[in-house]
Structure 1
Amino acid sequence: MNIEKIKTLGELKKSGYKPLSVKEEIRKNLIEKIRTKENPFTGIMGYEDTVIPDTERALLSRHNILFLGLRGQAKTRMARQMTELLDEYVPIIAGSEVNDNPLNPLSKYAKDLIAEHDDETPIVWLHRSERYGEKLATPDVSVADLIGDIDPIKAANLRLSFADERVIHYGIIPRSNRGIFVINELPDLQARIQVALFNILQEGDIQIRGFKLRMPLDILFVFTANPEDYTNRGSIVTPLKDRIESQILTHYPKDIETSLAITEQEADILEEQQQKVSVSDLVKRLIEQVAFEARNNEYVDKKSGVSARLTIAAYENAVSSAERRAIIHQEKQTQVWVSDLVGVIPAITGKIELVYEGEQEGPYQVAVNLLDKAIRTQFVSYFPNPETSKKKRTPSGKKSVEEKEGDNPYKAITRWFDGGNHVDLLVDMTDAEKIAALYKVDGLYGFVKKYFPHANEKENALLMEFVLHGLAAYSLISKKMIEGRIEFKDLIGSMMNLGQMNFEDDEINEDDFN
Structure 2
Amino acid sequence: MNIKNITTLGKLKASGYKSLSIKEEVRKNLIEKIKHKENAFTGILGYEDTVIPDTERALLSRHNILFLGLRGQAKTRMARQMVDLLDEHIPVVAGSEINDDPLKPMSKYAKDLIAEKGDDTPIEWIHRSERYGEKLATPDVSVADLIGDIDPIKAANLRLNFADERVIHYGIIPRSNRCIFVINELPDLQARIQVALFNILQEGDIQIRGFKLRMPLDILFVFTANPEDYTNRGSIVTPLKDRIESQILTHYPKTLETSLAITEQEANLLDAQKDLVDVSDLVKRLIEQIAFEARTNEYVDKKSGVSARLTIAAFENAVSSAERRAIIHAEKHTQVWISDLMGIIPSITGKIELVYEGEQEGPYQVSVNLLEKAIRTQFVQYFPNPEQAKKKRSTGKRSVEEKEPENPYKQITRWFDAGNHLDLFLDMTDADKIAALYKVDGLYGFVKKHFHAANDKENALLMEFVLHGLASYSLISKKTIDGKIEFKDLMGSMINLGNINFSDDDDFNEEDFK
Q: TM-score, normalised by structure 1?
A: 0.96
Contact 1:205 1:215 in 2 (8 A): yes
Matched, 1:377 2:374: no
**Residue aligned with 2:135, SS:** strand
The corresponding residue for 1:512 is none
Q: Is 2:314 aligned against 1:317?
A: no
Q: SS in structure 1 opposite 2:251?
A: coil
Letter in 2 for 1:447: F
1:205, distance to aligned residue in structure 2 (A): 1.8
Q: CA deviation at 1:483?
A: 1.7
Q: Give the distance between the partners of 1:349 and 1:322, measured in 2 at CA.
A: 20
Answer whether contact 1:391 1:399 (CA < 8 A) is retained.
Answer: no
| Equivalent residue number for residue 489 of structure 1 | 488
Write the distance in 1 (CA, Å) between the matches of 2:185 and 2:505: 56
Matched residue SS, 1:234:
coil
- Unpaired runs of 5+ residues, structure 2, are 507-514
On the 8 A contact 1:478/1:494 being kept in 2, the answer is yes
Alignment partners' CA distance in 1, 2:421 and 2:405: 23
Q: CA deviation at 1:37?
A: 0.4
| Residue 156 (structure 1) shift | 1.2
* One-letter identity of the residue aligned with 2:451: F
- 1:124 matched to 2:121? The reply is no
How large is the RMSD of aligned CA atoms in angstroms? 1.4
Q: Post-superposition shift, 1:157? A: 1.2
Q: Does 1:202 align with 2:169?
A: no
How far off its partner does 1:43 sit? 0.2
Measured after TM superposition, the shift of residue 499 of structure 1 is 1.9
* Deviation, structure 1 residue 152: 1.0
Please name the residue that 2:173 is paired with: 173
DSSP-derived class of the 1:302 partner: coil
The 1:495–1:212 alpha-carbon spacing in structure 2 relative to 1, beyond 3 Å, is farther
Runs of 5+ consecutive residues of structure 1 not aligned to the other structure:
510-514
Q: Which residue of the other structure, out of 501, 505, 509, is the alignment partner of 2:502?
A: 505
Deviation, structure 1 residue 405: 8.1
**Contact 1:176–1:219, Cα closer than 8 Å, also in 2:** yes
Q: What does residue range 67-466 of structure 1 map to in structure 2 within 5 Å?
A: 67-228=67-228, 231-392=231-392, 398-402=396-400, 407-466=406-465
What SS does the aligned partner of 1:480 have? strand
Letter in 1 for 2:113: L
- Aligned pairs for 1:466-485 within 5 A: 466-485=465-484
Question: What is the CA deviation profile of residues 310-351 of structure 1, one whole-angstrom value per residue up to 9, with x for unaligned ones?
Answer: 000000000000000000000000000000000000000010
Q: Distance in 2 between matches of 1:433 and 1:508?
A: 38
Is the Cα contact below 8 Å between 1:205 and 1:212 reproduced in 2? Answer: no
Distance 2:72 2:19 in 1: 36
CA distance in 1, matches of 2:9, 2:196: 34
Code of the residue aligned with 1:153 in structure 2: it is I
Over 3 Å counting, the alpha-carbon distance change for 1:110 and 1:42 in structure 2 is same
Code of the residue aligned with 1:150 in structure 2: it is: I
Shift of 1:389: 2.6
Which amino acid letter does the alignment assign opposite residue 178 of structure 2?
A: R
* CA apart distance, 1:454: 1.0
Q: Which moved more, 1:120-129 or 1:228-237?
A: 228-237
Per-residue displacement from partner, 1:283-311 (whole Å, max 9, x unpaired)?
00000000000000000000000000000
Q: CA deviation at 1:400?
A: 3.0
Report the Cα distance in structure 2 between the residues aligned to 1:460 and 1:230, rounded to whole angstroms: 50
How many angstroms does 1:498 deviate by?
Answer: 1.3
Question: 2:92 touches 2:123 (CA, 8 Å); kept in 1?
Answer: yes
Alignment partners' CA distance in 2, 1:122 and 1:81 = 31
Hey, what's the Cα distance between the residues in 2 that align with 1:377 and 1:200? 51
Instruction: Report the Cα distance in structure 2 between the residues aligned to 1:20 and 1:313, rounded to whole angstroms.
Output: 43
**Deviation (angstroms), 1:506:** 5.2
**Mapped partners of 1:26, 1:47: distance in 2:** 20
Render the CA deviation track for 1:17-44: whole Å, top value 9, x for unaligned: 0010000000000000000000000000
> C-alpha separation between the residues in 1 aligned to 2:228 and 2:342?
35
Post-superposition shift, 1:210?
1.1
Residues 402-435 of structure 1 deviation map (CA, whole Å, 9 limit, x = unaligned): 5668521000000000000011000000000000
Cα distance in 1 between the residues matched to 2:212 and 2:291: 51
Distance in 2 (CA, whole Å) between partners of 1:427 and 1:173 is 54
Specify the SS of the correspondent of 1:103.
coil
Cα deviation, 1:182-221, whole Å, max 9, x if unaligned, reads 0000000000000000000000121111112110100000
In structure 2, C-alpha distance between the alignment counterparts of 1:508 and 1:327, rounded to whole Å: 41
Instruction: Note the C-alpha offset of 1:392.
Output: 3.2
> Equivalent residue for 1:10?
10
Identity between Structure 1 and Structure 2 (%): 83
- 2:13 maps to amino acid: K
Aligned mates of 2:72, 2:205 — CA distance in 1: 34
Return 157-166 or 136-145, whichever deviates more: 157-166
Measured in 1, the distance between the counterparts of 2:505 and 2:121 equals 93
| Deviation of the 1:158 alpha carbon | 1.0
TM-score, length-scaled by structure 2: 0.96
Asked if the contact 2:3/2:125 (under 8 Å) is kept, the reply is yes
SS in 1 for 2:343: helix
Per-residue displacement from partner, 1:236-265 (whole Å, max 9, x unpaired)?
000000000000000000000000000000
Residue pair 1:187, 1:228 contacting (<8 A) in 2 also: no
Aligned length: 505
2:137/2:188 contact within 8 Å kept: yes
Specify the code of the residue in structure 2 equivalent to 1:159.
R
Q: Supply the distance in 1 between the matched residues of 2:393 and 2:41 (Cα, whole angstroms).
A: 57
Partner of residue 512, structure 2 = none
**1:50 corresponds to:** 50
User: Using a 3 Å threshold, how does the CA distance of structure 1 residues 270 and 198 change in structure 2: closer, same or farther?
Assistant: same
Measure the CA separation in 1 of the matches of 2:388 and 2:236.
51
With over 3 angstroms needed to count, the CA separation of the structure-2 counterparts of 1:168 and 1:293, relative to structure 1, is same
